[in-house]
Structure formats: C-alpha cells, structure tokens
Structure 1
Amino acid sequence: MKRFLMAAALAGGVVSSVAQADAALLGRADVQRYIDEQVASGSFNRPELEAVFANVELKPNIIAILDKPATSRPWYQFRGSFYNERLLKNGVAFWQQHAATLQRAEQVYGVPPEMVVAILGIETNYGRNTGSFRLADALTTIAFNYPRRAEYFRGELTEFLKLSKEEGIDPLTLKGSYAGAMGLPQFMPSSFRKWAVDFDGSGHRDIWNNVDDAIGSVAHYFQLQGWRHGDDIVIPAAVQPGVDLSSLVADKFNLHLTVGELKARGVLPQAQVADNVQAVLVPLETAPGVTEYWLGLNNFYVITRYNKSTLYAKVAQELAAELRLRYLNAQAQSAAQPAADSVNPAQ
C-alpha cells in the first residue's frame, strides 16, 4: 500500500482540481487550530497534515444525509433486510471459503464462526458494500462542518490519521461509509486502533482487503467486550398482564437486572435459566400490534456493543443460528456424497 508520507509530497507538487476547489479549508481557523494541536501532540508534523487537508474534498451531501430525520422500523420490517436468502447463501459460501480462518478465530478468541459470519454479512455483505466515500473527505466534512457531532468526529479523524500512519497507508486512498466506517466489519477508526488485529501475520492490519484480518478483528472485538463461549444469546419470555414495561424497555442496553428480579416484576423466562443471570427485556413487534418478548443475556449485550440496537442484535443472533444450520447441513451433504458415489459407481 502507499505510504502515509506520500501525501506530504503533494504539498510541494501538483495539487489536484479537487484540492483547488477546497483550498480554503487550510485557511480556516478551526482547521489550523486542529493542525496546531496535532503537531503539538507530537503525532504528526505540519507538512503531513497540510498535505492531507490540501487534498480533501468536503462533501455537502454527507451533511444532507446526517440532517435527514431519523426513522425507526419495527422488527417485522427490519428483520427481512438482513435475514434473507441473499445473505444466507453468501454467508454459507463465505464460511466454506474461509472455514480454517474462522475455526482459528474461534480457538484464539472463543467466538463461534457463525457470529463472525453473521456480522460481516450484515455490515457489508461480505465485503461487497464497504462504502465509496474517501474517508479523509467524510471524516473531515463532519469534523468541521457538522457542529452537533464535531467533537466526536474530530476524534475519529485523529484516529484515522494515526492508523494511516501506523499502517503505512496514504490516508487519501482509503474508502468507507459516509460516516467513516471502514472495511468488511465497518470499524470506526478508534475501533480499528483498539481492536483490529493482524490475523495472518503480514505485519499490517488490513480490514479492507484481507479477509483473515477482518475475521480476526471481529472475533477479537467480541472477546474483549465479554463474549462467553457456549452461552445463550437470548431466551424467549412471557410478560404477565398489566405489567408496566416502560422502565424495563428504556433500560434496554444495560444488564442492570437479574432474571430473578425480572421475574419479580412479571417477566417470566420460557426456558431454563438461573435467577442470578443478568438479562434485559427485548420486545419485538412481529406484526402491527403484536409483540413477542425475549430476554437478552450477556452475549446479546455484547452484540449491542458492536451496534447499539436491540433489533440489530436479534437479527444477528437469528442469522447466525440459521447460518450454522445451513453450513452444517452442507458439510454433511458433502461428506455423504463420496460415500454415495462409492456405493453407486458410474457404469
């Protein structure tokens, strides 16, 4: 890959038409303050940063996307976007192609293959949709032109520039989502620096083009968030009539209550689970006006650390379960075929 310092060479050479269009960026006081801070921290020198910002193209369409009112879909609409034949077929094929790496990730990190495969399917359909925005453009646009999220995205911009330097990558070449998510697992830059791993021993962490690194990085993330190998993710539940669920549902991202405490408040598990196990109530609208209930356990909570959505966590659990079933069935059929061929040899 291109080296980070290649960007610095642009500062003294021919500047692209894109850079000319956004040359005013370097003249902005807030951008200069940011550069001053980074130089003072010792992370970068001024020519490096000025070369990058001289070639950044601000993207007003990203601001338009961020300004769109947030919409939420009920479970019965959300589920089909990810639990579908396309992702299931692609997921089984991905698992078959990378079975050895997935098995090694389970051995090293204790995270089962089906969960890693489900996450990579939901995030990017196994690398088919990793994003088309230059990350330097996207992160700079939000960091300096979107005050509501400026502090967070300036932090992510810094993390992105650091990871580019650490991995020896020209930051102007990397692409991702409009919000700065990167590679097959769609890590934000800060997540990359904390949890991405060089799983194939190449000397670099590459979640854009290296499937081994992407698999290992997702498994590593789940391990460090507290995944418990072999534990359930969810169990079905029933709610007694008249129970006020508002406080339970509002606290959906925290394991503050035990199963025993939930029982005392009228939430009854429909599978065997110890009273001292921590759990969270998960209501799912399966049809207009129809709700089913689940108890999310520790591993469910871990999935919500990856994406803070109970719907995301539940569809990841369901997709993982079906992927495992289909993969094992395919393996059994493949193993049975040679035996069948030997019994009925071609005439």
Structure 2
Amino acid sequence: MKRFLAIAALSIASSACPASATAPKHPQKAAPKQAGKATPKASAAQGTTSYASRAEALRFADDLAARRGLDREWVRQAIGQARFLPRVPQLMLPPPKGQAKNWNAYRSRFVEPVRIRAGLRFWQENAATLARAEQQYGVPAEIIVGIIGVETIYGQHMGGFRVMDALATLAFDFPAAHPRAAERQAFFQRELEQFLSLCDRTGMDPFTPRGSYAGAMGMPQFMPSSWARWAVDFDGDGRIDLFGSPADAIGSVASYFQAHGWVTGMPTHYAVDFDAQRLQLDTLLAPDILPSFSPASMADKGVLPLGAGAQHPGQLALVELQNGGDAPVYVAGTENFYVVTRYNWSSYYALAVIELGQAVAAARDNAR
C-alpha cells in the first residue's frame, strides 16, 4: 500500500544485506520468486521514454558505480534501460489542502471481511513461524499479521510497477510541486542506489521485481534500504525472499520492529476520557504522535488515560484521528504505537494495522 509511504517509514538508508546468498556478479541475474505477482497495467506500470538519453541519470550511474565498486557498464545499462512512468510523480503529490480525513472510512478499507479471512488463513498456515518470530524478536504475531495484511493482503497485491522504473522516475523526475521535493528526491536516489546494490549482491535482475509506485517490494512492502538493513532469511534456505517466502516476510517485519524500538509486552495505546475543565487540547496535540507526556502530566492537561494507561510507565502521546464532519477519535499512544508509525508515518495507518491484527486474532480464537 505504501501510499502514505511506507512510504516513509522505510526511509532509513542502510548498508550490507544480511544473509544473502552469494551470486554471480552481473547481468542476467536470477529472478526472485514472486508468488501472486500482479500483472502491470500498461497505462500505469509500463514506462514510456528511457533514461539512456538523460545525461544527469548517466552521471548518477557513473558516480554510484565508483562509490559502490560496481561494474560501470552494468549500472549505466540498468539506469539507461529504466523507463519514466508518467503516473508515478502524480501519485507522490499530497492530497489537496482542506481535504478532510476520515478515520472510519480509512479503517473500513482494511479491517474488513476479505482481509480478516485472508489473515486467518495466513496465521493458520504460518502459526509456528509467527510464534517463533514473536519469541525471537518480542513482536506480537497480531502486529506482524496486521502489517502484512494492510500492506498486500498477505501477498495477494504486491504491486505491478517495475521497481527499477519506479525508483528511477522518482530519483530523476520527482514532482517539483511537492512541498519537500528536494528531500524526497534525494531519498529516492538513495533507494535506487540501494536497489542496484542489492541486485548486485544477490544476483537479482533489476527489471524483474514488481512493487509499489514508490518502489516498495514483497509481502511486507520493504523499500530497498529496509531490505538491505532489516530483512532476514527466516526460513533458513540461504537467501532472503520477501516475495515468495512467508517466513522471510514474517521474520523481516519482526526484525524491523525490534530494530525500531519495540518494547515487548507494552500495549500500543489506551482509551481516554476528557476533563473539560482542565482540557489543554492544543498543548497535548502539539507533539503530534511523539510520546511526550507522562500519564499524570496528560491528566493534568485534561486527558485521562483509562485502565492500565493511568499507570503506564513511559511517555504517551494524544493521538487524534479525524472523522470527517463527525467527532474525532482520540487514543493515548505509547512508545509501541510510535514504533508502528515508523513503518508508515501515519497514525491512521498504525491504528488500522493494530485493529486488523486484533480482528484476525479474534477470528482465530473463534475458529478454535
């Protein structure tokens, strides 16, 4: 889905790829397994003009090859054969200002019968692997199930864009109208570099993988830097395959959360009540989703974390989820809620992941 970009939750650049199998160095590299790969639509996912005639793209290729120690002609050929995807820059633009957010509408896209049934099958088929990931990384199975369900419906929809084309388009033609255009373009140039380095290390043909319009790949929709830094060979076959191996996808999501500070046993959020006489809503919302208030401090400002939230040992954030013209929904997010937003920088996304995982867990309990 990565349309809020995973987008950016997967935005940290990285170094070497762990546990990758040794492969021949250069062209025609072995393709990864891609169970359930979508067929790209010509209007959206197939490119038009190539980057072979773009001097800045070839200069980037030469610089990348020199810095990474890659074969210069292979890198130039890969970038030169990449094609501009005219729809992709449009998809990167933020929604128009004033467009109301609606938590209930957003939630209904993800916490719904199709994903819940698919999640139940996924959990039943991979129960031992999910239990092993939870034991090894401390991340609950329902969070892992929620992520993979929201991202790709458990591998059913992994994206139809050639990753090479999507990353090249965003590296060299990121839309100037974006409010953070320079920063985002630099990010995608780093991701293109990481992707070609990954292909070089693993023997993957750069033009085989399909993914999101932002270049996210596989069942968990990892950006190349996240694949390089946090993906793991959880099925022990000597290679990392986020397209075809549910075990690798499960272990990699758990690895990502552990690396981003997941605290084992901590809830993600608590319900809240308001004390209207003391309410300092603007002050509590100012840090956004960054946990910044103790339960006592939050209560002093008129928001009372309920249940165990009143004794929460760490900091909390007041999370507001707007509901169109209806009243917003509020929760007190913990450090673990914040960790979920590191996968995708959106409180709406995080709560959808959490509630889908809970719904699948409830379906599993009922099926026993």
Tell me the TM-score range normalised by the shorter chain.
Answer: 0.7 to 0.9
CA deviation vs aligned residue, 1:84-106 (integer Å, no higher than 9, x gap): 11111110011001111111111
Whole-angstrom distance in 1 between the partners of 2:187 and 2:47: 27
Distance 1:275 1:62, change over 3 A: closer
When Rg is computed on C-alpha atoms for both structures, the one with the higher figure is 1
Judged with a 3 Å threshold, the aligned counterparts in structure 2 of structure 1 residues 95 and 156 are, in CA distance, closer, same or farther, namely same
Aligned pairs for 1:230-269 (under 5 A) are: 230-241=265-276, 243-269=279-305
| 1:91 and 2:119 correspond | yes
Cα separation, 2, equivalents of 1:288 and 1:61: 31
Determine the C-alpha separation between the residues in 1 that align with 2:314 and 2:185: 39
Which residue identity does 1:50 align to in structure 2?
R
Which residue is equivalent to 1:113? 141
User: What is the 5 A alignment of 1:1-347?
Assistant: 5-7=26-28, 22=49, 25-67=51-93, 69-70=95-96, 73-146=101-174, 147=176, 148=181, 149-241=184-276, 243-272=279-308, 273-274=310-311, 276-285=313-322, 288-331=325-368
Task: Report the Cα offset of residue 72 of structure 1.
Answer: 5.4
In 1: Cα distance, 2:291 partner to 2:155 partner: 32
* Distance (whole Å) between structure 1 residues aligned to residue 316 and residue 131 of structure 2: 29
Deviations 1:48-67 (A, max 9, x none): 11221232111111123224
Distance 1:203 1:296, change over 3 A: same
Change in Cα spacing, 1:51 to 1:176, as seen in structure 2 (3 Å) is same
Name the amino acid aligned to 2:294: T
TM-score, with length taken from structure 1: 0.86
Deviation at 1:277, TM superposition (A): 2.1
User: Counterpart of 1:160 in 2: which secondary structure?
Assistant: helix
Kept after mapping to 2: 8 A contact 1:4/1:170: no
Q: Quick one: higher RCO (CA 8 Å, sep 6+), 1 or 2?
A: 2
Partner of 2:17: none
Partner of 1:343: none
Instruction: Return closer, same or farther for 1:319/1:260 CA change in 2, 3 Å cut-off.
Output: same
Report the Cα distance in structure 2 between the residues aligned to 1:125 and 1:269, rounded to whole angstroms. Answer: 33
The 8 Å contact of residues 284 and 318 in structure 2, kept in 1 or not, is answered as: yes
- Per the TM alignment, residue 268 of structure 1 is displaced from its structure 2 partner at its CA by 0.7
Tell me by how many angstroms 1:76 deviates.
1.5
Give CA-to-partner distance per residue, 1:289-331, whole Å, 9 cap, x none.
3233211112111111111111111122212122112112212
Partner residue, 1:337: none
Q: TM-score, structure 2 length as denominator? A: 0.81
Q: Structure 2 vs 1, CA of residues 48 and 72 (structure 1 numbering), >3 Å: closer, same or farther? A: farther
SS at 2:128's partner residue? helix
How far apart, CA to CA, are the structure 2 residues paired with 1:20 and 1:246?
46
Matched position secondary structure for 2:342: helix
Percent identity over the alignment?
38
Shift of 1:204: 1.3
Partners of 2:94 and 2:362 lie apart in 1 by 39
Distance 1:43 1:259 in 2: 52
- State whether residues 22 and 55 of structure 1, in contact with CA within 8 Å, keep that contact through their aligned partners in structure 2: no
Contact 1:239–1:268 (8 Å) recurs in 2: yes
Per mean C-alpha deviation after superposition, the further-off stretch among 150-159 and 311-320 is 311-320
2:331 match: secondary structure? strand
| Runs (5+) with no aligned partner, structure 2 | 1-20, 30-45
Alignment partner of 2:291: what SS? coil
Q: What stretches of structure 1 of length at least 5 have no aligned partner?
A: 9-18, 332-347
- Structure 1 counterpart of 2:27, one-letter code: M
* 1:339 alignment partner in structure 2: none
Return closer, same or farther for 1:325/1:180 CA change in 2, 3 Å cut-off.
same
1:31-74 Cα offsets, whole Å, 9 max, x none, are 12212211221431211112212321111111232246355531
Tell me the distance in 2 between the aligned counterparts of 1:197 and 1:158: 20
Aligned to 2:37: none
Amino acid at match of 1:55: Q
Greater helix content:
1
